[in-house]
Copies of this chain bind each other. A is one copy, B any other.
């Protein structure tokens, strides 16, 4: 007896939003990118301290290459008032791809709000000239006086995206980890220089899933069922400006667990070690398996202007794959998304050039 072998091939899977951390945790999680099927990682700069200039970015890249040389790392800088047009030109020459904006208050509790984007306009002007990419964490800080909270922080941000695109129409902008119907509609409506990443977990979760389950808590939070459906639909329709950025964000298990009434857990869902099988599993579940290669490689590579031909293909087989309960190295232990559950797809050999 022979059974039908169902396979799909993805040329050069590329994850356009990854957190690789520092120290022992970095050593643990960096190899997971390749293990999860990906050979390109767009690396976030929010270390402690943040990556604020080219020298720091190149040093970090070198560390990552020593840990796992099999991945192409695209580096970013952390948007701050220390960043100058001169530093942007230097970064471009150093091969750095983009600059990431974290709205103050969302991550740093600064009192200066998102309105301060105008302070960065000289930097954005130079980024536009140098054809660098601006990556936006699209949330405004919570503010009870304006009814702003985690559920509508992204919606309230969209006006800033529209303004930035209007003022810098040639600047390539990526709205990161979109979670709402309104975000999808806004990005579709804007011009060809505006794109959008979608995570794997936001294709699976709604608010119900992180209610009382801190391992499913991330920022932006997963929202309403109709928002999840909008994310699924834009992938199903094959829109070229939407692609995978996993926002795979490892935190050690002790920081994800909620053990006491006064300890809130760290925000982040960790998908890197299972990413390509997970995305295949999810896309198949909502009728978009035919979009897998475009969503996880072609669309993002085209927008970022990185290699799109002669890419090594990763083969996925439609065979059950049990997700590990946890992964550890030295004192660091992380739990992958859907720990212990079974996916419908497994990574096979990756020996084809397409």
Contact = CB atoms under 8 A, between A and B. Distances in A.
B224 A265 contact: no
- Which residue of A152, A228, A264, A267 has the most chain B CB atoms within 10 A of its CB atom? A264
Contacts of A335: 260-261
A264 B150 contact: no
Contacts of A124: none
Nearest to A221: B211
Interface string A73-109: 0000000000000000000000000000000000000
- Which residue of A212, A256, A265 has the most chain B CB atoms within 10 A of its CB atom? A212
Contact of A258 (B215, B226, B341): B215
Copies in the complex: 2
A339 B260 CA distance: 9
Interface residues of A, number: 45
Nearest to A211: B150
Interface string A130-171: 000000000000101101111110000000000000000000
Contact of A261 (B147, B258, B337): B337
Contacts of A151: 151, 207, 224
A259 interface: yes
Nearest to A270: B261
Contact of A208 (B149, B213, B226, B337): B149
A214 interface: yes
Contact of A257 (B258, B267, B336): B258
B225 A148 contact: yes
Given A207-B150, A210-B211, A258 B265 contact: yes
Nearest to A254: B259
- Which residue of A150, A214, A215, A257 has the most chain B CB atoms within 10 A of its CB atom? A214
A340 interface: yes
A266 B26 CA distance: 34
A206 interface: yes
A213 B264 contact: yes
A258 B214 contact: yes
Nearest to A218: B212
Interface in A256-298: 256-267
Contacts of A215: 258, 260-261
Interface in A229-261: 229, 256-261
A212 to B, nearest CB: 4
A338 interface: yes
Contacts of A150: 207-208, 211
A217 interface: yes
A223 to B, nearest CB: 8
3 closest Cβ pairs, A-B complex: A144-B225, A215-B261, A212-B217
Interface of A: 142, 144-145, 147-152, 206-208, 210-217, 221, 224-226, 228-229, 256-267, 335-341
5 contacts: A144-B228, A214-B214, A215-B258, A256-B261, A258-B258
